[in-house]
Structure 1
Amino acid sequence: MIETIIGVLAGLATIALARKIRGEHWVYALSLISLPTIYAGFAWYAGETRIGWQEMFFGLPFLIGGVVLTLARQQFRWAAAIVGALWLAHGGYDLLHPQLFINPGVPAWYPAFCAGVDIVVGLYLLSLAATPARRDLQTA
């Protein structure tokens, strides 16, 4: 439970930082790339190369989505809806992770922490996508 609360707080800090640096049009999409690489990194650190590559394979939607949406010069609301949905999907992945993989490198607390971050960021992005356009949130 405490892991999830800390994850929610980390998600709120991520949102605050992205707003402060005026990077909302790229920070969230670029950050999607890190989500599967963290799980893979845990596996590789534990010496489980095969599991690390499996984590990367299952993380392909997040990797591809992060790269494409970071490079795309689309209107922010459209991209925010897709990136928000991907963040929420990764939150679901986090919650199911212990049933999907035996990854000895992943700390027991990490999936709940990551789900907290992912769900907060995903819901925030979907709320941005649903609000009327603001000039300061659109890509240049």
Structure 2
Amino acid sequence: MAFLIGAVLAIVIGLSATLFGLDRDRAFYPTVMIVIASYYVLFAVVGGSMNALIIELIVAAVFLGASIAGFKYTLWLIVAALLAHGIFDFVHGRFIANPGVPAWWPAFCLTYDVAAAAYLGWLLTRKRVRADAIPGSASQISNN
């Protein structure tokens, strides 16, 4: 059931974002990726495991970096990050002991991530969302 709900929810959220114009802003999908990456950190806090919290923060930081790079350069990096997070969901329990993770979460999140990646990839190939940042736009301005 978790697989089905994850996939359906990702498609419903993606279609809703497109229907209501929420994904016209390039920041939408990178922000979704950042939120997705933060859940395991939340579960570590809920589970009360400092060791899991440190590991999950490191992993979340990697996905945060990918999200920022995807926003600044190309949303194809977000597609890759979503797929990578789906793989992470699949192997998470084998490498990280996080007592706060609900038993159903990895299956739900894996299918959400893969379905969201597929939807964003479809939007990008159909040119319904601009893949690359516009040169000189706010997403290309450096903070130097």
| TM-score range relative to shorter protein | 0.7 to 0.9
Question: Structure 1 stretches (4+) deviating beyond 4 angstroms?
Answer: none
> Letter of the aligned partner of 1:43 in structure 2?
A
Alpha carbons 1:36, 1:56 under 8 Å: kept: no
Task: Give 1:56 deviation, angstroms.
Answer: 1.5
TM (norm. structure 2) is 0.80
Aligned to 1:117: 112
Alpha carbons 1:80, 1:128 under 8 Å: kept: no
Work out whether 1:11 is the aligned partner of 2:10: yes
Unpaired stretches in structure 1, ≥5 consecutive residues: none
Task: Give 1:48 deviation, angstroms.
Answer: 0.8
Q: Which moved more, 1:2-11 or 1:119-128?
A: 119-128
Unpaired stretches in structure 2, ≥5 consecutive residues: 135-144
Aligned to 1:21: 20
Task: Give 1:50 deviation, angstroms.
Answer: 2.3
For these two proteins, the number of residue pairs brought into alignment is 130
Q: Distance in 1 between matches of 2:81 and 2:15?
A: 20
TM (norm. structure 1) is 0.82
> Letter of the aligned partner of 1:3 in structure 2?
A
Tell me the C-alpha RMSD between the 2 structures.
1.8
Q: Distance in 2 between matches of 1:52 and 1:36?
A: 13
Q: Distance in 2 between matches of 1:54 and 1:112?
A: 20
